[in-house]
Structure 1
Amino acid sequence: MDVRRRNNVTVTGRADGPVLLLVHGFGCDQNMWRLVVPALAKEYRVVLFDYVGSGRSDASAWSEQRYSSLGGYARDIVEVCEELDLRDVALVGHSVSAMAGVLAAAQAPGRISRLVMIAPSPRYIDDDGYRGGFSAEDIDELLESLESNYLGWSAAMAPVIMGNADRPELGDELTTSFCATDPAIARVFARTTFLSDSRKDLLSVAIPTLILECEQDAIAPREVGAYVHAAIPGSRLVTLDATGHCPQLSAPQATAEAITDFVNVAP
């Protein structure tokens, strides 16, 4: 299958510029990057795509077997890189895609040379000596609610994930994005996201890495950012003066500036 069509690949910006590959998170699609793309496109060749089952991808290519693990999403990333013959890519992964990006970078070392991890979490469930932000019971309840009433769950959870209660239009946008996803596909993606434990994968990261976190994030608290930073030698941790789990929407200028500052100096 044509990967460009399958994943609704979009390319914009400077044709001769360094490549940025922007990868969306759970319940989203490439449209979630639209507020940072204009700034980034002035200097970079910006590549965007939708995971199979998200946005305007070809949902007929989706399979539960492939997308029941982060490896399936990492394969989408690598296959987009191969299809466009991308090299020396700075991969910008939001939320769960920060960890899918770690796996993709390990699979395609000649293609992915930098990582920007926005609001990453290698494990959402608390563990001995580790705070992920949720108890096992919290996640069980979250998944049960999602599976029994996905639209209701979306309307309730999207504003919590987005934060910024004083800007309800942001929560409304995330709700709309969630609701546009096929509930059967969303259930699989949610279980993959919230039940994964990728802490060991962080130890394999050997490329320049930027971790972007927000001052307040109900999904990935700052303890998680500190953990990821400590686990990746030589990584840089930047705390944005922003609230919520989606700074590319709530603080696009600061997000774009942090990405640019990092990519421009990374070896």
Structure 2
Amino acid sequence: MPGTSIQRNNARIVGTASRTVILAHGFGTDQTAWRHQEADLARDHRVVLFDHVGAGRSDLAAYSPRRYQSLRSYAADMLELFDDLGLGEVDYVGHSMSGMIGLLAALDEPERFRKMIFIGASPRYLNDEGYCGGFEQKDIDALFEAMTGSYHAWASGFAGVAMGNPDRPELAQEFAATLCAIRPDIALAVSRLIFLSDHREDLPKLRVPTLIVQTKSDVAVPREVGEYLARHIPSAEIDVIDAQGHLPHMSAPAAVTAAIRAYLG
């Protein structure tokens, strides 16, 4: 039924300018993670924010482990949302898992996208021959085991490590809160499809101009991954910003907003 994706994904639009920018959140957060960029960009953009199914205030009844077996389902959700919102060409900013979600959506409907920005995105988290993803299989297995054993304890510890700003514990607490708000079974299922995915072969197919935003130190996505993306996506460039951790739009919002504005023009 037309418009159902708007409720499903708790979508909203801020601002009334002619140019539209999509802010798509990563795993463990929701659209509130973009509050700093939302406030700035809405001055001269129409900003679209939403929650992936299973996160934030999305419709949990829409979640099905059978449907959401890959990031392609989330990409399909997003394109449906574009239709229901009546969006034309957009600029796209995707954090973490939303980097590859945006890439897959742009492969299906490239005419939708003018420019793309990926923040802390990775096509593959597992190391491979000639490829540094940052994790060995034993690391991923230990992560899944910890999530299964005591999800909320894992979330509390992971939030601090991923945020990477130990002198600002309030940031880790904020991230832990949104992690803990996710239903544990959904969090584990989404983690599995993220950490076990491999989208390296999709990268050369992307024809939309793309900026890779990388922090100086990211425990989840090493700098080598950002450089790999920049080498394998045509018309891509990398911007290593003065920030630490995996969630710079929260920990270094001014640097991220400046990078977005500089690239979108």
Residue identity in the other structure for 1:227: Y
Indicate conservation of the 8 Å contact 2:13/2:49, yes or no.
Answer: yes
Structure 2 distance, partners of 1:60, 1:96, is 22
Q: Structure 1 length as normaliser, TM-score?
A: 0.96
State the identity %. 45
Indicate conservation of the 8 Å contact 2:162/2:246, yes or no.
Answer: yes
Q: Which residue of 1 aligns with 2:87?
A: 86
Alpha-carbon deviation of 1:234?
A: 2.0
Structure 2 distance, partners of 1:200, 1:86, is 29
1:41-71 deviation per Cα after TM superposition (whole angstroms, max 9, x unaligned): 1111000000111100110011111212111
Residue 6 of structure 2, aligned match among 4, 7, 30? 4
Residue identity in the other structure for 2:239: V
| Structure 2 stretches lacking a partner, 5+ long | none
Q: Which residue of 1 aligns with 2:19?
A: 18
Q: Which residue of 2 aligns with 1:136?
A: 137
1:139-196 deviation per Cα after TM superposition (whole angstroms, max 9, x unaligned): 1111111122111110111110111001011011110010000111111111011110
Residue identity in the other structure for 2:89: D
Indicate conservation of the 8 Å contact 1:24/1:94, yes or no.
Answer: yes
Residue identity in the other structure for 1:161: A
3-state SS, counterpart of residue 27 of structure 1: coil
Structure 1 distance, partners of 2:155, 2:253, is 23
3-state SS, counterpart of residue 34 of structure 1: helix
Structure 1 distance, partners of 2:34, 2:50, is 10
Structure 1 distance, partners of 2:78, 2:114, is 14
Residue identity in the other structure for 2:154: W
Correspondence 1:66-81 to 2 at 5 A: 66-81=67-82
Alpha-carbon deviation of 1:207?
A: 0.8
Residue identity in the other structure for 1:189: V
Q: Which residue of 2 aligns with 1:239?
A: 240
3-state SS, counterpart of residue 211 of structure 2: strand
Alpha-carbon deviation of 1:110?
A: 2.2
3-state SS, counterpart of residue 92 of structure 2: strand
- Which region of structure 1 is more displaced relative to structure 2, 146-155 or 164-173? 146-155
Residue identity in the other structure for 1:38: A
Q: Which residue of 2 aligns with 1:209?
A: 210
| Length, aligned pairs only | 263
Residue identity in the other structure for 2:5: V
3-state SS, counterpart of residue 210 of structure 1: strand
1:15-53 deviation per Cα after TM superposition (whole angstroms, max 9, x unaligned): 133110111111111001011111111111000000111
Q: Which residue of 2 aligns with 1:176?
A: 177
Correspondence 1:1-267 to 2 at 5 A: 1=1, 2-13=4-15, 15-264=16-265
Indicate conservation of the 8 Å contact 1:105/1:113, yes or no.
Answer: no
Residue identity in the other structure for 1:10: R
Structure 2 distance, partners of 1:68, 1:157, is 23
Structure 2 distance, partners of 1:166, 1:223, is 26
Indicate conservation of the 8 Å contact 2:110/2:207, yes or no.
Answer: no
Q: CA RMSD in A?
A: 0.9
Indicate conservation of the 8 Å contact 2:90/2:113, yes or no.
Answer: yes
Indicate conservation of the 8 Å contact 1:78/1:107, yes or no.
Answer: no
Q: Structure 2 length as normaliser, TM-score?
A: 0.97
Structure 2 distance, partners of 1:162, 1:79, is 31
Alpha-carbon deviation of 1:254?
A: 1.0
Residue identity in the other structure for 2:164: G
Structure 1 distance, partners of 2:220, 2:55, is 21
3-state SS, counterpart of residue 41 of structure 2: helix
Alpha-carbon deviation of 1:242?
A: 0.1
Residue identity in the other structure for 2:196: L
- Which region of structure 1 is more displaced relative to structure 2, 144-153 or 127-136? 144-153
Structure 1 consecutive aligned stretches of length 4 or more whose deviation exceeds 3 Å = none
Structure 1 distance, partners of 2:25, 2:224, is 22
